[in-house]
Amino acid sequence: MRYISTRGEAPALAFDDALLAGLAGDGGLYVPEAWPELSPAEWRRLRGLNYPDLAAELLAPFAAPAFDREALRSLCRTAYARFAHPAVAPLVQVAPHRFVLELFHGPTLAFKDFALQLLGLMFERVLAARRRRITIVGATSGDTGSAAIEACRDRDNLAIVILHPHGRVSEVQRRQMTTVAAANVANLAVEGTFDDCQDLVKAMFADRAFRDELRLSAVNSINIARVAAQIPYYAWAALALGAPDRPVAFAVPTGNFGNVLAAWAASRMGLPVARLIVGTNRNDILTRFFLRNDMSIAPVVPSLSPSMDIQVSSNFERLLFELLGRDAARTAETMRAFRTTGRMPIPPAAWEESRRMFAGFALDDEGTLAEIARTRRESGYLADPHTAIGLAAARACAPEDRGIPVVVAATAHPAKFPDAVERAVGERPALPPNLADLMTREERYEVVPNDLGLIESRIRAHALRNAA
């Protein structure tokens, strides 16, 4: 498998090179030259596999020849052995034909663990073979940072720096990042929004001298390996509910579009997906697009679901590339116009094509609290604010054929957002035992202005200290 840039001006790369590169040199995102496809018979043969072995089978066509099936099986078994639930990603029924796919049983209690626990092992293997060091730089709206740090902490061949928006993540999310006492980890709290943090990371990758000096790599969902590693849990749920002989719909709370893009990729691989329901909070750029072809940037507004407080959804570029017939020049032109004008002109035919699969739904904070309370009252299930948006979206946008099961991606443990959950149901969820002392651990982070030069100097100093 080779990977090409959505903007067409970077060289095609093998999987291991795309893994290390993260963002393409032309500012685009890597996508497979062709999406692998499985026949119905091949999907049926995957039924009954445990989660690690299923993940290895589905990742094999993406990772070859850098990782063969045996290597992937070993890495996946190691990565998912750290998850607290024996099923790794259990399905819980909350209503007729409606299920919750719990993606929060990893070490940092969020869906990002599925990809990042595996990517940490992949980075280590590739870097050891090449005798190289890299500096990983990431932006987080809340969950990517802690998952990336947990996956990369104490690894000899890399340093990691995570940027988060100061005061715009939950206290639990922040402490999961800032209380990690590992020499190769640094946290910068940027005075700005997640979109500012994301723009800073992209600017660092565009700074070729800085990128080459520190051998930058990315763990955000701009890294195609992360998207590929999230495909298996959608297949896992669909196979459990009868696929490929029965279609399934997914409702996914999302901000940066990476998680729902993985579900779309599963459908491209032949999984029968009836609908993908995109759930957003008041930062509703994705919902506005799918409802009325309005992809226009608005100010980021803080919410009870901070991981979705995003107005520039980086992974949408990958879908745009596909909607434009894989025309890299048109994709690059459209993205340039978006960054210049704040609006993305999508041809009506391409927008209509997107609506064949996608539906959009937005929920404000008041509605989110109401949905947490409603779900608890009607099914006994306790959802975090992000999952609550997915649950409301599933109910509002379910396929007309009510026999089609709708699976809601439960992206975070409710204990990551205890204040919101307590406001909704009068019950404060407890952290699991391994994080019980989180609120008393010493924090290590620096608050910095939104200044590219200053932040690059901080990252350079951290990388050099760790290389010494």
Task: Annotate 309-349 with DSSP letters as a single string.
Answer: --SS-TTHHHHHHHHTTT-HHHHHHHHHHHHHHSB----HH
pLDDT band at 221 (very low <50, low <70, confident <90, very high): confident
Q: How do residues 130-172 score in pLDDT, each as one tens digit?
A: 999 999 999 998 888 999 999 999 998 999 999 999 999 999 9
Mean pLDDT of 18-40: 95
Task: Annotate 405-420 with DSSP letters as a single string.
Answer: -EEEEE-B-GGGSHHH
Q: What Rg value do the Cα atoms of the chain yield, rounded? A: 20
* Residue 257 within any structural domain of the chain: yes
Is the pLDDT assigned to residue 466 strictly greater than 90? no
Mean pLDDT of 186-204: 95
Task: Annotate 29-48 with DSSP letters as a single string.
Answer: BEEESS-----HHHHHHHTT
* Residue 347 within any structural domain of the chain: yes
- CATH label of the domain that carries residue 101: 3.40.50.1100
pLDDT band at 270 (very low <50, low <70, confident <90, very high): very high
Mean pLDDT of 354-375: 98
Tokens of 251: 């409702």
**pTM assigned to the model:** 0.94
Is the pLDDT assigned to residue 335 strictly greater than 80? yes
Task: Annotate 110-154 with DSSP letters as a single string.
Answer: BTHHHHHHHHHHHHHHHHHHHT--EEEEEE-SSSHHHHHHHHHTT
* Residue 145 within any structural domain of the chain: no
Tell me what pLDDT residue 158 has.
94
Query: To the nearest whole percent, how much of the chain has pLDDT over 90?
Result: 95
Query: What span, in angstroms and rounded, lies between the C-alpha atoms of 257 and 261?
Result: 6
Angle, helices 112-130 vs 224-240, to 10°: value is 130
Count of structural domains, the chain: 1
Task: Tell me the three state secondary structure of residue 100.
Answer: strand
CA-nearest of 244, 206, 222, 259 to 139 is 222
Q: How do residues 113-122 score in pLDDT, each as one tens digit?
A: 999 999 999 9
pLDDT band at 207 (very low <50, low <70, confident <90, very high): very high
User: What is the average pLDDT value for the chain, to the nearest integer?
Assistant: 96
Residue type, 378: E
Tell me what pLDDT residue 142 has.
80
* Residue 392 within any structural domain of the chain: yes
Strand partners, 343: 296
Domain that holds residue 343: 91-107+226-425
**CB within 8 Å of 380: residues ≥ 6 apart:** none
Q: How do residues 66-108 score in pLDDT, each as one tens digit?
A: 999 999 999 999 999 999 999 999 999 999 999 999 999 999 9
* Residue 350 within any structural domain of the chain: yes
The label of the residue with tokens 């997906």 reads: 273
Residue 202: active-site member: no
Instruction: State how far the alpha carbon of 4 is from the alpha carbons of 25, 47, 58, 319, in Å.
Output: 11, 31, 20, 14
Name the catalytic one among 112, 166, 282, 462: 112
* Residue 139 within any structural domain of the chain: no
CB 211, CB 367: distance < 8 Å:
no
Query: What span, in angstroms and rounded, lies between the C-alpha atoms of 368 and 272?
Result: 30
358 alpha carbon, distance to own chain's centre:
18
* Residue 332 within any structural domain of the chain: yes
Tell me what pLDDT residue 141 has.
85
Tell me what pLDDT residue 434 has.
86
* Residue 32 within any structural domain of the chain: no
Residue type, 29: L
Tell me what pLDDT residue 218 has.
86
**What phi, psi does 30 have (nearest 5°)?**
-75, 140
